[in-house]
Amino acid sequence: MKLPLLFNFLALTTLSLAAILSPRDFKCPNGGTAQCCDVDVLGIADLDCSTPSKEPATPYEFANICAEDGKIDRCCLIGVV
């Protein structure tokens, strides 16, 4: 009688841990958009920006993706027209 209960507990625990530990997509704070930019002007304006070539899972990966193209990672709130 106790074996099925233990099995159910272990199964639920395993599924819960898998959901918690699964990779998450990186999201910029405050609703910003992830961009890889050539130039940062005084931390106010970023020039020649493009969308990262792949979806980063972490801030560290975001920086590495942009660095592969020789750019810096930025979270932009408004685009320059």
Domain ranges of the chain: 24-81
Tokens of 47: 């020039």
Tokens of 77: 């709130």
Task: Classify 24-81 by CATH class.
Answer: alpha beta
Percent pLDDT > 90 in the chain is 7
CB burial readout 26-47, b (16+ within 10 A) else e: bebeeeeebbbbeeeeeeeebe
Q: Is a pLDDT exceeding 70 seen at residue 9? A: no
Q: Is a pLDDT exceeding 60 seen at residue 56? A: yes
Q: Is a pLDDT exceeding 90 seen at residue 67? A: yes
Share the mean pLDDT of the chain. Answer: 73
Rounded to two decimals, what is the model's pTM?
0.58
